[in-house]
With several copies, the nearest count.
Chain A
Amino acid sequence: MTLSDTSAKASARGEPAGADASPEAADTRLQPVPFRGGGFRPVRVRFVGPLVFAAILVLWEAGSQSGVISNLVLPAPSEAFEAFRQLVETGQLWRHLGASLQRLIVGWTLGMSLGVAVGLMIGLFSLARAGLMPLVSALFPIPKIALLPLFVIWFGIGEGSKVATILFGSFFPTVIATSGGVDNVDRSLVRMGQSFGLSWWSIVRKIILPGAMPAILSGARISASIAIILLVAAEMIGAEYGVGAFILMAGSLFATDQLLAGVAILSAMGLIVGWLIGRAERWLLRWRS
Chain B
Amino acid sequence: ALAPVAPAAAADKVNVGALRFTSHAASFVAFERGYFADEGLDVEFTFFQAAQPMAVAIASGDVDFGITAISGGLINLAEKGAIKVVGGALQEEPGIDGQMILASKAAYDAGLTSPAALAGKSFGITQTGSSFHYMVHKIADKEGIPRSEITLRPLQKVGAVIGALKTGQIDAWTIVPHIAKAIAAGPEIEPIGMIADYIPDYQVTTVFTSTANTTERPDLVKRFLTAFAKGAADFNAALVDKTVSEQEAEDMVRLIHKYVYADRPFDKAAPSIRNGAMRINEGARLNLASVSDQLEWFKSENLVPSSVTLEMLVDSSFVETD
Direct contact of A and B (CB under 8 A): yes
* Most chain A beta carbons < 10 A, residue from B48, B63, B130: B48
The answer to whether A157 touches B164 (Cβ under 8 A) is: yes
* Most chain B beta carbons < 10 A, residue from A149, A237, A254: A254
Q: A153-B59, A153-B60, A254-B73 are in contact. Are A236 and B49 (CB under 8 A)?
A: yes
Q: A157-B63, A252-B127, A255-B76 are in contact. Are A149 and B159 (CB under 8 A)?
A: yes
Q: What residues on A are CB-neighbors of B166 within 8 Å?
A: 72, 153
Is A133 positioned at the interface, with any CB of B under 8 Å from its CB? no
Is B163 positioned at the interface, with any CB of A under 8 Å from its CB? yes
Report the count of interface residues on B (CB-CB < 8 A): 54
The answer to whether B56 touches A252 (Cβ under 8 A) is: no
Is A208 positioned at the interface, with any CB of B under 8 Å from its CB? no
Report the count of interface residues on A (CB-CB < 8 A): 32
User: Please, how many angstroms separate the alpha-carbon atoms of A152 and B167 in the complex?
Assistant: 9
In order of increasing CB-CB distance, the 8 nearest A-B pairs are A253-B72, A149-B159, A252-B127, A254-B73, A236-B156, A248-B49, A238-B153, A254-B159
Chain A 252-263 interface mask (CB, 8 Å, partner B; 1/0): 111100110000
Query: Taking CB as reference atom, which chain A residue is nearest B63?
Result: A157
- Residue of A71, A72, A92, A251 touching B60 (CB-CB under 8 A): A72
Q: What residues on A are CB-neighbors of B264 within 8 Å?
A: 86
The answer to whether B129 touches A249 (Cβ under 8 A) is: yes
Q: What residues on B are CB-neighbors of A252 within 8 Å?
A: 49-50, 52, 71-73, 127-130, 157-159
Q: Chain A nearest CB: distance from B100 CB in Å?
A: 16
The answer to whether A152 touches B163 (Cβ under 8 A) is: yes
Q: What residues on B are CB-neighbors of A157 within 8 Å?
A: 46, 53, 57, 60, 62-63, 153, 155, 164, 169-170
A residues whose Cβ falls under 8 Å from a Cβ of B: 71-72, 86-87, 90, 92, 148-150, 152-153, 156-158, 235-240, 245-246, 248-255, 258-259
Is B34 positioned at the interface, with any CB of A under 8 Å from its CB? no
User: Please, how many angstroms separate the alpha-carbon atoms of A157 and B47 in the complex?
Assistant: 10
Q: What residues on B are CB-neighbors of A158 within 8 Å?
A: 62
The answer to whether A152 touches B56 (Cβ under 8 A) is: yes
* Most chain B beta carbons < 10 A, residue from A149, A153, A245, A250: A149
Q: Chain B nearest CB: distance from A259 CB in Å?
A: 8
User: Please, how many angstroms separate the alpha-carbon atoms of A193 and B182 in the complex?
Assistant: 65
Q: What residues on B are CB-neighbors of A253 within 8 Å?
A: 71-73, 76, 128-129, 158-159, 179, 303-304
The answer to whether A149 touches B62 (Cβ under 8 A) is: no
User: Please, how many angstroms separate the alpha-carbon atoms of A232 and B33 in the complex?
Assistant: 33
Q: What residues on B are CB-neighbors of A72 within 8 Å?
A: 59-60, 80, 82, 163, 166-167, 188
- Residue of A87, A92, A236 touching B53 (CB-CB under 8 A): A236
The answer to whether A254 touches B76 (Cβ under 8 A) is: yes
The answer to whether A148 touches B156 (Cβ under 8 A) is: yes
- Residue of A238, A255, A258 touching B155 (CB-CB under 8 A): A238
Is B263 positioned at the interface, with any CB of A under 8 Å from its CB? yes
Query: Taking CB as reference atom, which chain A residue is nearest B17?
Result: A238
Query: Taking CB as reference atom, which chain A residue is nearest B129?
Result: A253
Q: Chain B nearest CB: distance from A246 CB in Å?
A: 7
User: Please, how many angstroms separate the alpha-carbon atoms of A240 and B72 in the complex?
Assistant: 18
Query: Taking CB as reference atom, which chain A residue is nearest B265?
Result: A86
